[in-house]
Amino acid sequence: MGLVNPNLLGRTIGNGQLRLNAVLGSGSGGVVFLSTDEAGSSSSLYAVKCLLRAPPGTPKHDSQWREIRNHRAMSHHPHIVTLHQVIEEEDYIFLVLDYCAGGDLLNFLADNRALAGNMDRIKTMFLQLIGALMACHKAGIYHRDIKPENIFCNEDGTEIYLGDFGLSTTNAFSQKFGVGSYSYMSPECIHYDVIADGYSARRNDVWSLGPILSYMISGRHPWRVAATTDESFKAFLRNPNYLRTILPLSEKANLLLRHIFTRKEKNRISLEYLRQMVEEIDSFFMSPTEIRQATPEVQYIAATYFPTPLFHISSYGIELAPLDERRIYKPNVAVKAEENAEQPQYTPRPAPAPRVSEIQQINRSDPTNPDGVPSEEGHLAPDLKLPAPPPKIYLPMQRYRRDDPRSSNTPPCTRDRVDAWNLSRFKRAVVRIWE
């Protein structure tokens, strides 16, 4: 964040209690420093988030203290980053947080591939994330920016912690669209295909768990943005089993993601039922037999992401050369019975061109839009370059006259009453004329 003074490195805060030693990361909300406890005897490590203090009465000021209130209210949970202290100085606000030595989940998975093919670890970590989110929703706090960059790990990756409540809200029904990261937003939050007055912040958080689970299983995102301008998302809307054609997902994992990725938010799975399904699932991955019969995209991901001993890659026909070339073994080549018979040859074949629209390899999610301000070109940020939605067609309202007996939309009982009333009026007119 350019507004934070770089001279803060080496500075002590809190009356000399903490010293800022290094920069851990930065984002739209502020800069995070690694600090040591100078006052204590154990020199404990902390992560200190530095916010540029906003003037009182401004929306930014309200947003900063809303983050502090919501984070402090959830600091007691074992899988949420603890907020130890808030230090206010001249131009800055410092949030003293737990230091997670494993870094964020995105870097942990990219560097270690610790979850590749590890069923038990994926289930354990995902259940921890569900438990933290359930506690937030029970307290009436909705995160709205759940993504791997805001999920932190301990040193060995056995525990994860949810953090960064900068975009959280206590409003169950939100009317601020485009809040969060586009790769993890629900269609109703993106506000491009699904047009409504607002959306459920609770169900929007549930949607965000889907791309995270997909990334934990396969190292890939199912799509870049959940809008019909994305070819992968459009294909998923046409074919509910489309994810199994681009990702090595088991049938149960695919069913789990289908319960999360529902176009209508009212049909989306609840966190309680989601936790139950995750606990009962026996495998997130395709079997070697399924991978042998899968599409080339799925076979390529299985060969490059999963450990070779796990799926015995050579058993289903795919091996990796030193230059990561695709080699297809032809087992039907007849072997001569003579002494000098030639062995079956591996026929090299160039790898197919990557289908960027269907297999998205996203190293980092899109930048956040904390204020939820729509761009001039459309509802999304300008970098996505989405076309404008088609113009609405307003059909004229059908007129309905209850006193018109000739109207085909008038119920029979109403027509009888109108006829009786007209007949009585005619009789009264005749009587008056006769008199």
Per-residue pLDDT tens over the stretch 396-414: 554 444 444 445 555 555 6
Same domain, 146 and 55: no
**How far apart are alpha carbons 343 and 345 in whole angstroms?**
6
Q: Is the dihedral angle over the CA atoms 202, 206, 211, 216 positive or is it negative?
A: positive
- Computed from CA positions of residues 131, 134, 138, 143, in that sequence, does the dihedral angle turn out positive or negative? positive
Domain count of the chain? 2
270 and 155 in a single domain? The answer is yes
Written as one letter, the residue type at 245 is: T
Considering the domain architecture, whether residues 151 and 274 belong to the same structural domain is answered as yes
Same domain, 232 and 332: yes
CATH number, domain containing residue 24: 3.30.200.20
Q: How far is CA 350 from CA 80, 301, 332, 358, in A?
A: 46, 16, 21, 19
Question: Which helix (H) or strand (E) segment is 348 a member of?
Answer: strand 346-348
The reply to whether 49 sits in an annotated binding site is: yes
For the chain, give the mean pLDDT.
77
Residue ending a domain, among 333, 352, 372, is 372
Q: Which residue has the higher pLDDT, 28 or 248?
A: 248
Co-location of 141 and 23 in the same domain = no
pTM across the whole model = 0.70
- The gap from C-alpha 279 to its chain's centroid, in whole angstroms, comes to 21
Q: Measure the CA–CA gap between 175 and 189, rounded to whole angstroms.
A: 9
Kindly state whether residue 299 falls inside one of the protein's structural domains: yes
In a domain, 383, yes or no: no
Examine the pLDDT at 256 and tell me if it is beyond 60. yes
Q: What is the DSSP letter of 12?
A: E
3-state secondary structure 72-120: HHCCCCCCECCEEEEEECCCEEEEEEECCCCCEHHHHHHHHCCCCCCHH
Instruction: Answer yes or no: 282 catalytic.
Output: no
- Other C-beta atoms lying within 10 Å of the C-beta of residue 194: 16
Answer with the one of 351, 372, 393 that is the final residue of a domain: 372
Q: Would you say residue 428 has pLDDT above 80?
A: no
Catalytic residue among 98, 104, 145, 366: 145
Q: Which domain holds residue 354?
A: 104-372
- Of 27-31, 32-36, 173-177, 372-376, least confident by mean pLDDT is 372-376
> Average pLDDT, stretch 217-236?
91
* SS3 (DSSP) at 275: helix
Alpha carbon distance, N-terminus to C-terminus of the chain: 95
Q: Which residues contact 283 (CB under 8 A, 6 or more apart)?
A: 119, 250, 252, 253
Does residue 108 share a domain with residue 94?
Answer: no
Which of these ranges, 15-19, 136-140, 202-206, 261-265, has the smallest mean pLDDT? 15-19
What is the Cα–Cα distance from 7 to 14, expressed in whole angstroms?
Answer: 17
User: 29: closest CA among 331, 308, 368, 356?
Assistant: 368
pLDDT for res 26? 80
What is the predicted pLDDT for the residue at 132? 96
Q: Examine the domain organization and report whether 63 and 139 are in the same domain.
A: no
Residue 428 lies in a domain: no
Q: What is the dihedral of CA 352, 354, 358, 362, to 10 degrees?
A: 150
Length of the chain: 435
| pLDDT for res 349 | 53
Q: Is residue 162 assigned to a domain?
A: yes
Same domain, 71 and 114: no
pLDDT at 300 over 80: yes
**194 and 274 part of one domain:** yes
